[in-house]
Amino acid sequence: RKEVEQDPGPFNVPEGATVAFNCTYSNSASQSFFWYRQDCRKEPKLLMSVYSSGNEDGRFTAQLNRASQYISLLIRDSKLSDSATYLCVVNVVGFQKLVFGTGTRLLVSP
């Protein structure tokens, strides 16, 4: 089983739609969680950290469910510029490394 698993997509949505991605992680000792965004042929960039109580940044909301070992990303009012690959990233306590999921591709169309 992969440490971090994501649905690869692509998710095709129209502008203005709401879309949600889930990510599951296998190690219950995971302690830090992030969503990164990667545009085509570019480097990954941090979108947002994910906190236990959930957090929001504009149109983006991240949730963590430790009991079920998954994190989610909700994007409201999708824009064309949201088209990208979204990477779920996890750190396991005691290990100095981040583990990346393979990413979920989002395509927002006019």
Partner 1 sequence: NAGVTQTPKFQVLKTGQSMTLQCAQDMNHEYMSWYRQDPGMGLRLIHYSVGAGITDQGEVPNGYNVSRSTTEDFPLRLLSAAPSQTSVYFCASSPTGRTEAFFGQGTRLTVV
Binders of partner 1 among residues 68 to 87 (CB under 8 A) are 87
Extract the tokens encoding 94: 């005691």
Q: Which long-range contacts (CB under 8 A, 24 or more apart) does 64-68 make?
A: 64/33, 66/28, 68/24
DSSP class of 42: S
In this complex, which beta carbon is closest to partner 1, that of residue 34 or of residue 108? 34
Give me the least distance between CB of 77 and partner 1, in Å please.
26
| Residue 109 binds to partner 1 (criterion: CB under 8 A) | no
Alpha-carbon distance of 50 to 12, in angstroms, equals 24
Give me the least distance between CB of 99 and partner 1, in Å please.
8
| Residue 103 binds to partner 1 (criterion: CB under 8 A) | yes
Question: Would you tell me how many other CB atoms lie within 10 Å of the CB of residue 55?
Answer: 14
In this complex, which beta carbon is closest to partner 1, that of residue 8 or of residue 16? 8
Binding residues for partner 1, rule: CB under 8 A, are: 8, 31-32, 34, 42-46, 49, 87, 91, 95-103
